[in-house]
Structure 1
Amino acid sequence: MRTTLGQDVAGIASGLDNRAIHVWLLDYQRSLRREPLCALLGVYLGVPAADVVLREGEYGRPELIQPWRDALQFNWSHSGDKAIIAVARDVIPGIDIERTRPRPKVMELAERFFHPAEAAALNVLDHDQREEDFLRLWTSKEAVLKALGRGLAFGLDRLHVALKHEGAALRWLDGEDASSWQLHALAVGGDYRASLAWRGPPRAIDIWTLADDS
């Protein structure tokens, strides 16, 4: 659903509870930096965008300062000319979006950085399917690691994601109970792939496209 930043978003934001995660897809310009993110978070918090203050967590993950951090959690990602933002209460979401493009060194990257079972699964595929599944694995793994709060430095080989026809499943995460995690592919359209993850019980995922209100 397409909506604009303002009254429509305020109404949606007011309905966020611990049964759902809100996901917003929007156009992105690198020159704007975090302005679109702060504008959206400001609507959820009921404050002007200029008053939204973020800090870097222990491993560089942006988060709200207190007292907002206990009330609202978020994560965002951008690639090409698109950004995606996840907003939640009582769980920490991780989200990743990537634009499809030729990746000639897919197997080299997978064998070097991925879990061995993931590299083996990619190796038996034809070229086009291998590039598609590599991107699905990448966004899945990034989403989990961002929800964990660690990022890529944690190690892409320290989790195992198995791809399924309808999505992906987290099979193993070093030091964690993988069965307590949720992992979902997001239908964002076009030449983009995106994934959302969080630790906790299942929730509804509500997705909107934030249109330019100029």
Structure 2
Amino acid sequence: MTAPKYLWLPAPTNVTLLPNDVHIWRIHLDLPEPTLENLAATLSDDESARAQRFYFQEHRQRFIAGRGSLRAILGRYLAIAPQEVQFDYEARGKPFLAHEFADSGLAFNLSHSQDLALCAVSKNRQIGIDLEYIRPMSDLESLAQRFFLPREYDLVRSLPPEQRPGVFFRFWTCKEAYLKATGEGIAQLEKIEVSLTPSEPAKLQTFKDWSLLELEPADNYAAAVAVGGFGWDLKCWQY
């Protein structure tokens, strides 16, 4: 099964976020050096220090691209310069807008894998997004047994080997999107029940007041967004 394909539209210059809107931004992280330099100039001192801690240049550049793009995106909604965006952090490290922006009601979440990132933005709704590059893994079955419920693990194990990575990462991104929305850690993965099959879209079984949507941002990627409540309108932007 392939998750629904969405049309990634060029974002308008003046983007508006209505109360029932959910915006998802697709961000390419492998950028030319001049663009990276411009983004790096908008980072805070702690973000710049974090970027320098990456051992590999590729990882450092992708962090700068992701965090700088996040600042630029949030700056559009707040009508401020990217470098003026300020963050606070939850106990597990999840960033959120600093208290001076609380009146905006803006909630966001960022996920990246390989050369792609997704940023989800909502207003007065909890939101989480997860993105994974689908790849073979030697420990896939043991990870599924550790982090998935028995029924989920049995489904992964029952599939032909070539189908297992795709379904594994669909389960993983759905669970992780919810846990990122709530700020809980990866240790809670096995407590989140997701219902899906190779031919049917995922549903979040554990919590009835949350909605879950799978996305296909590019070939060989799995992604999901979890949003508090229902009745929201999705728009997908290409940054």
Q: 1:97 aligns with which of 131, 139, 151?
A: 131
The yes-or-no answer on 1:3 pairing with 2:10 is yes
- Residues 54-203 of structure 1: pairs in structure 2 closer than 5 A: 54-70=87-103, 71-153=105-187, 155-164=188-197, 165-172=199-206, 178-203=207-232
Q: Distance in 1 between matches of 2:178 and 2:231?
A: 15
C-alpha separation between the residues in 1 aligned to 2:63 and 2:143? 30
Match of 2:137, SS state, is: coil
Q: Following superposition, which runs of at least 4 residues in structure 1 exceed 6 angstroms of deviation?
A: none
**1:106 Cα offset (Å):** 1.3
Q: Is the 8 A contact 2:9 2:236 kept in 1?
A: no
- Provide the secondary structure at the position in 2 that maps to 1:24: strand
Alignment length (residue pairs):
198
Tell me the CA shift for residue 2 of structure 1: 4.0
**Per-residue deviation, 1:114:** 1.4
Q: Which residue pairs with 2:76 in the alignment? A: 43
Distance in 2 between residues matched to 1:166 and 1:66, nearest whole Å: 41
Shift of 1:187: 2.4
TM-score, normalising length from structure 2? 0.78
Gap regions ≥5 residues in structure 1: 173-177
Give the fraction of aligned pairs with identical amino acids, expressed as a percent. Answer: 35
Counterpart AA for 1:23 = I
The TM-score normalised by the length of structure 1 is: 0.87
How many angstroms apart in 1 are the aligned matches of 2:185 and 2:124?
20
What letter corresponds to residue 197 of structure 1 in structure 2? A
More strand by share: 1
Deviation at 1:52, TM superposition (A): 0.2
Aligned-pair Cα RMSD in Å: 1.5
